């Protein structure tokens, strides 16, 4: 559903015509809430990062929500090349295993492990010139923050079956924003438990549909480059 149509759809229940900006912001917040709760197929990406000689850390995208583990090492970049999943370890385990990896002459080799730290993932052993020359890549599956809806023709990366849940979420937020707290509670009660804040009803059902398609966190992957 295009943004212009969604605004009309929401205003069937929110009887004001002077709050389009507030409704749009509440709508964008609602789409983000769904994307965080369940990595939806429209927001999933698969990226390939070239190894750099003597480089330990590789920054995560600034708009990332989830990493779908594990990160994989592709040993070369041609059709017949092999690959392997890297072992995810903690930062403490990484520090114990790879001591002072940024020294002037570090030990290098084909990476076996990685950890997530300070907005980056760190690989070990650090790749050397051989791994770079061979064209080795890191393959990463991740989900991104949705792009805000702003133009009348914009559509979210969610199927139209989500529109009613998104309307409820938007109405809960926009009513709370204008001080209509009882109205906000009413709309919120349609999609989440008032105490646990866990999804209920149609919201829960749609999340389960997404999970049933390809598993808890794996769905359609769109290739791109970090």
Residue 220's SS3 state is coil
Contact 157, 43 (CB under 8 A): yes
* Residue partners of 84: CB distance under 8 A and separation at least 6: 72, 73, 75
- Write down which residue in 92, 112, 144 finishes a domain: 144
- Percent of the chain whose pLDDT exceeds 90: 65
Beta strands in the chain (DSSP E): 44-50, 57-59, 64-74, 83-85, 87-88, 113-117, 120-124, 137-144, 222-224
In a domain, 219, yes or no: no
Q: Tell whether the model's pLDDT for residue 96 goes beyond 50.
A: yes
- Asked if 156 and 203 sit in the same domain, the reply is yes
102 shares its domain with 156:
no
Residue 89 has pLDDT above 70, yes or no: yes
Residues 103 and 54 in one domain: yes
Q: What is the pTM of this model?
A: 0.79
Q: In terms of domains, do 72 and 106 share one? A: yes
pLDDT recorded at residue 219: 47
* Same domain, residue pair 81 and 121: yes
Containing structural domain, residue 23: 3-41+147-214
């Amino acid at each position: 559903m295009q943004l212009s149509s969604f605004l009309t759809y929401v205003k069937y229940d929110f009887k004001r015509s002077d709050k389009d900006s507030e409704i749009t912001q509440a709508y964008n917040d609602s789409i983000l809430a769904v994307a965080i709760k369940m990595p939806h197929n429209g927001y999933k990406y698969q990226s390939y990062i070239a190894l750099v000689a003597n480089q330990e850390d590789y920054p995560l995208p600034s708009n990332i929500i989830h990493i779908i583990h594990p990160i994989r090492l592709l040993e070369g970049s041609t059709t017949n090349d092999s690959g392997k999943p890297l072992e995810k370890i903690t930062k403490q385990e990484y520090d114990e295993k790879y001591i002072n990896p940024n020294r002037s002459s570090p030990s290098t080799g084909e990476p076996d492990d990685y950890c997530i730290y300070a907005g980056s993932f760190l690989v070990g052993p650090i790749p050397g010139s051989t791994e770079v020359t061979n064209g080795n890549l890191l393959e990463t599956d991740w989900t991104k923050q949705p792009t805000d809806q702003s133009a009348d023709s914009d559509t979210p990366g969610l199927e139209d079956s989500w529109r009613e849940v998104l309307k409820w979420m938007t109405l809960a937020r926009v009513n709370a924003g204008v001080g209509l707290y009882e109205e906000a509670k009413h709309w919120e009660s349609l999609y989440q438990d008032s105490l646990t804040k866990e999804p209920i009803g149609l919201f829960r059902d749609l999340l389960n549909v997404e999970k049933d398609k390809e598993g808890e966190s794996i769905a359609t992957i769109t290739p791109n480059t970090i």
